[in-house]
Every structure is written in structure tokens, then in C-alpha cells.
Chain A
């Protein structure tokens, strides 16, 4: 067991994930990453995602998410969470939103991996969000108008969603912050994890992309607004497999 000197034997990233637990490996099931990796750098010019708001280059896989049960959340919970992240980063004239970018899939997968401790907080928080909507706006969260949904979310964010039987554990603000933080990771993180589909998040930020080397000329081009964005996952660089 004590591997002495000789450096360690070649361990692939897949081995690392396997060691980290079976759950980690699930992230690498080929089907699950397909949506993220089928966009090759050649086709992923910035125009693709900028082409139009919703509905254009979106992989079929994202749309039906709303209705389906996820691995870690029931269909009902998935519906509420969809409605929530859709308000956090809506699909609009600025481009795709969180749902288009696969944020739900990102969160569901995270709940099987690094964020498994958070599953209970999601379950309790989503139920409480729904209860609070019924008590204060007269209907389940998903049936509220977007204006009412936003005002409910503001209450939740600032910790004001209280009241007997609502059921936010540890304050509504911490639930909001948790969902927001995971939504941002799914929207703006590496597509390897199931989110940022078609690099929607990176396009929104005008992030010029993951490169292993940036020359002085590249930096000058960036400063001149002339650096072509690269659209590939870190794991599309073969050395990290």
C-alpha cells in the first residue's frame, strides 16, 4: 500500500473518480455527457448560441426535464425546482436561461456526487417554497404568475418566508443561496457536469473560453475585442482523461 518513491503509477481521472466513490463515476456515463461533448469546437462558434433566444440550437434532452422525475428528486420536486431556476436565470431576449442550459441536470447529478449532503435540504426547501406560495399567494409555486413567483423568491431570498408550518430549515435565505449557487455552477461551470449546454453561460458572459495557453498576442487580441472564443470543455483537452 505504501507506494514508495517511483512517483505514483499513472492514475486516470476516471480512476480518481472511481476511488472517490461509485457516485462520481456516474458523471461519466457516456449518454450523460453526450449533450455537452457533441458540440465540437468547430461547430461551437459563438453565433450558434447567440443565434436566437430559446428554441434554436438546444439539445432535445433539456426540454422534457420539467415533467420527468430526476434521480434525486420526485417529478413534483423537479417541477418546482424548474420553475424556480427558470426565474433565477430566465430564457429571454438575452439568450438561453438556466433550464435551456441544463441546470436541472447539473443539480440532479451534483446531488448524486459532491453535493449529496444537500438532498434533504432540497426536498425540505422545495416543499416549503410551495407551502409558502399557497399560504401567501393562494396557489402552488408553479401556478403563480411570474410576477408572483418573483415576489415569493424575493421573500425567500431575504429570509422573510417564515410563518407557522412553512418549513424552511435554517431560514429561507440559506435555501435560496444554496439553489442560486448550484444554479450558477450549472450555468457557468464546465459542461462536463451536465450544465452550460451549448456554452450558453459562457456566451452570456462573453467568456473567451478554456485554453491551456494564452500568448501575449492572444491577450492583445482579447483587449482589442478580436479574440475568437474557444468553446470546449476542459475535458476535451485529451490530457485530462
Chain B
């Protein structure tokens, strides 16, 4: 028996990074919003600095939905897909922002115009073979006001490098112009960061502190960061990490216009004979509900956004909602974050206390910030030196051939060296390709019996070439700072389930190649909006969340302005 609920203006499916931001402008505009969230509320008391729980076990989430519907993956359609590895997305109010690293980057102007820029500078033949990359339907300038707004509403710390065209070499001189400074100064550096910055400068590069959704000082009545060292997959016990459950969501609730329903697992969207969405079906335990709505925004992360559309079949959309052009699931890519570089130093780094969002960035080799005329690829990567060390992971460090990794000799080794390794984090341009896509797995299902997502995806020549190039740069940087041993990860092959998953409901003007329009609303079902990186057509060399949030705000603002056209 399905319980029919009273209708509402807007339903948002998922109260995470993107949905949790979109709720605020909608609620402030006076629209009645229901936020359906599969997880529960968690708070600072749940966030003990406990490495076993955060990094080796399951964390305190009460609902483990993401874990039970891990996508299967395979490199190409010629192979079988397997469900391998975990899937660390969070199910809770605030979504994955509760335990994410909180690096909060804007994309660079180039990322919005890859096709045009590449063609103009190097010729059309330099777009990699088989790539389906398109320019975004608008440029960086169009998104800038929303970046600016979200940086203030959520709270981002950082050092500006370009304020209205004025370059400040303490920040990122390659960034697009911003209207004003960050609302907070950057997180502090340690002596090791200073040393790495010095090494970068002696290589002729431009190091700068990265942006973070973490308070560097008191902001919005919450304290500055405590640098306790458990931020990686840990929630913040002092509320200095600006997850949406303590920023935009409570402010939206306080308007009286947002109702958050927890433990609400949305399964499908319903459609009327006119092709418009009428509401969503959800289950709480064994109870089933139908929530009617004028407008539905899906914000349940890339894999679930795509799955939900594909599962919502109707007369109007026999192959899944908004999929009459066969574009749902296409143009999928996951950020190439692998192909890391490790370094071993002859001195202590003193990096027990810090966080992955604290550190030194170098953008000289990102995007099109350097000449690619004689290189075999387009795009590049952002080099990132962070602090992230905890006891168990430190004790698991590689021994660089100096000892077996157990026994008495190892004990001596680790006593000496536990604080002397570093692993870089290099994010690289990743493009969509014709044969990388998402669909429903033919055999593997979740506990409700619904098929999980199947990823068919492989890093291609362009991505692998960038990876090798960036590893060289990283090695140069480490050596300059005195590293005595270096190791490198493989260049990457199969795309497994990722925390930076893009595409599947791409945004663009052409309905033949895109699911949503320039505002994030479906080309086919006009009152369906999509939030999150599933609408993004390029990744840049940056983590996705701030861009997802800026886009979510923009979609919500557009809905408020165009309410009549979209909802009625």
C-alpha cells in the first residue's frame, strides 16, 4: 500500500553537497521544499578522531545505502563487470560533505571551452580520438557570481590570485578572475609546506595555498580548524568543516519552508501522460510513499541520479526518464586521480596534524597553462602537497627497499621513518569518450532487487599521457625538496566507482547529445532538474564539489525566477 502524501512545490532527492545547497535559495524564495534523504542526521558527537572507524571500518552512518548498491565496473563492453572495492559516499543529511576532504576549487575558464580553445590554439585534430567533449553552454564568467555566492554561504578559505584581473602572486595566478577575495584567509602551512613552496619556486613554478570548505578562522559562529589530523573520511568534531548539514541546510530549515525527511529512499519518479514529472516514490523501511511535487530535482550523486532516471520507465519515456534521445548514462567519466607519486625524505615532515585540504598547490601544469604544441595530449594536472598522516596509515608506509615490511628490522625502520614519506595528489583533466558510459547491470541488484549501475570505462591515451607527464613534474618537485626515493603508481586503466564521477546527465544546448539544458532542467521533462557533477561535461584538474554547488545554486535561482514556466 502506497501512502499518498500532500503535494509540495519542490522535491529534492538527496540532501548532500548539491541538494543541500539548492534547498537554501528555494526556501528563501518562499517555495515549499521537501528534502528526501536516505540517511539520517549526524552531528559532531558522532565524529570521534578514530582511524579504525573512519578509515578501516564503516564510519558511524546508520544507513549504508551507497555501500549496498556499489556499481559494477569493467574496462570495455567486451569484458564482464565486477563489483570490486567499496564506495565511500555518505548517506546522511549533508551527504558526502560530512567526511570529504573539502578542497573547494573553481574550474578554470579553459575547462568551459575545451573544444574552442584547443581548436583555436592547436587545431581541431588535437581533440582526442573518440572523445565526445563539447564546450559548456556558457563560460566561466556566467558561473562566477554563483561561485562567489556559494563561497560565502558555505564558507571557503583561500588565497585569491586574480581579483577582477589584478594578479596576486600569493594566490593562483592562473585562476579565472574573481569578483573579490575569499571570505577567509587560507589554512596555515607547516614548515614542510614552506619547504615544498620554496622548492617549487626554485623550479620556476608558482606555489600557492589551496582553497578549502574549512574555516581558517571563526566564521558563521563556528570555530576555525583544529588541524587534528582525522579529516580524511572523518567528520569534524568542532564543526569547522563546512558540510551542508551545518551550513545551508539548517538555514533553509529555519525559513520554515524546507522539510527534511530522513531514511527516505527514493526509488523512482512518476510521470504523467503529458511527459511531466508528477512526483517521486520512496520507501522508509517497508512503508511506501508517493510524494507529489510540481518540480523534482534529483541530487543523489552521479550513479544514483542516472540509475533513478533509467529505472523510471513510463509510456512517455520507455527507456527511462528523459532518455528518449538515449543520452542518459552517456559522456560518463571519472576523474583520473590515480597514477600517484610517493616520496621518501631523509627528514621528518611533522605532518601528523593537518588535513588533506591544507597544503601547497602548483597550477603551472594544469589545463592549458603551458604550451602543448609539442606534446601528445591536451589538458594537464594540478599538483597538490597536503598533510595527511595517521598512525595506522603511517605504519603501513612502503619501506623503499630498506627492510621487509614486518619483523624486528621493520620496527627499527618504522621508528625512524614513520613521518618521512609523502604521497602526492594529482588531479588531471579527464574527458568523456564515446565508449565510456553508465547503464544498469544485467545481473547485480541492491537489497530492494533493483539493478545497480554498471560502469564501462577506461582511461584513454590522453589521460594516460597526462598522468605520465604529471608524474615527471611531481618527481622533479619532490627531488628539489630533497626526496631520496620516489615511487610511481600505474598510469591507470579501468575506471572503478569513483568519488569524482561526472556526466551521465550532461548539460548542453543540444538535446541530441545532452540530457539537461543550460539551466540544469531536462530537455524532455521540463519540470525535472538534475543537480551534481552528473551534469558536468569536463572535470578540469579540480575536485568537483564547489562547481556542483555553484551549478546547484544557479539551477535553483533559475527555478525561482522561472517558476511559472517550469512548474505550471
Contact = CB atoms under 8 A, between A and B. Distances in A.
Given A13-B46, A214-B353, A205 B418 contact: yes
Contacts of B392: 184-185, 188-189
Contact of A212 (B226, B258, B394, B412): B226
A47 interface: no
- Interface majority SS on B: helix, strand, loop or mixed? loop
A212 B228 contact: yes
B415 A184 contact: no
Interface stretch (A73-81, A117-125, A135-143, A232-240): A232-240
B261 A4 contact: yes
Contact of B395 (A10, A201, A214, A240): A201
B83 interface: no
Contact of A94 (B56, B190, B415): B415
A207 B411 contact: no
Given A1-B263, A212-B237, A205 B414 contact: yes
Contact of A150 (B43, B396, B407): B407
Contacts of B258: 5
A89 B353 contact: no
B408 interface: yes
B407 A90 contact: yes
A187 interface: yes
Nearest to B416: A206
A211 to B, nearest CB: 6
Interface stretch (B6-14, B47-55, B515-523, B541-549): B47-55
A64 B354 CA distance: 39
Interface in A178-204: 180-181, 184-185, 187-190, 192-193, 201-202, 204
A114 B57 CA distance: 7
B264 interface: yes
A136 B40 CA distance: 54
B499 interface: no
Interface residues of B, number: 57
A89 B238 contact: no
A237 B237 CA distance: 11
Nearest to A8: B41
B564 interface: no
A92 B407 CA distance: 10
Contacts, number: 159
Nearest to B237: A212
Contacts of B221: none
Interface residues on A, range: 35 or more
A4 B259 contact: yes
Interface string B228-264: 1100000001100000000000000100001111111
A188 B85 CA distance: 24
A223 B419 CA distance: 11
A114 B58 contact: yes
A1 B353 CA distance: 40
A95 B352 CA distance: 22
B350 interface: yes
A185 B406 CA distance: 14
Interface string B155-178: 000000000000000000000000
A187 to B, nearest CB: 7
B418 A207 contact: yes
Contacts of B287: 1
B351 to A, nearest CB: 9
Contacts of B284: 1-2
B261 A212 contact: no
A208 interface: yes
Interface string A91-121: 0101101000000000000000010000000
B473 interface: no
B48 A188 contact: no
A222 interface: yes
Contact of A207 (B45, B226, B391): B391
A25 interface: no
A94 B403 CA distance: 15
A114 B350 CA distance: 32
Interface of A: 1-5, 7-8, 10-13, 16, 19-20, 87-90, 92, 94-95, 97, 114, 150, 153-154, 180-181, 184-185, 187-190, 192-193, 201-202, 204-208, 210-214, 216, 218-219, 222-223, 234-235, 237, 239-240
18 contacts: A1-B287, A13-B48, A87-B406, A88-B407, A89-B407, A94-B412, A187-B395, A189-B56, A193-B52, A211-B228, A212-B228, A213-B228, A216-B188, A219-B353, A222-B350, A223-B350, A235-B48, A237-B237
Interface of B: 40-52, 56-58, 60, 62, 188, 190-191, 226-229, 237-238, 253, 258-264, 284-285, 287, 350, 352-353, 391-392, 394-396, 404-408, 411-412, 414-415, 418-419
Sort A-B residue pairs by CB-CB distance and give the 8 closest, nearest first.
A8-B41, A213-B226, A240-B48, A214-B353, A205-B418, A189-B52, A188-B391, A234-B48
Given A10-B45, A189-B51, 16 more contacts: A3-B40, A3-B262, A8-B43, A89-B407, A89-B411, A94-B408, A153-B406, A185-B392, A188-B51, A189-B56, A189-B392, A204-B411, A213-B227, A213-B238, A218-B353, A219-B188
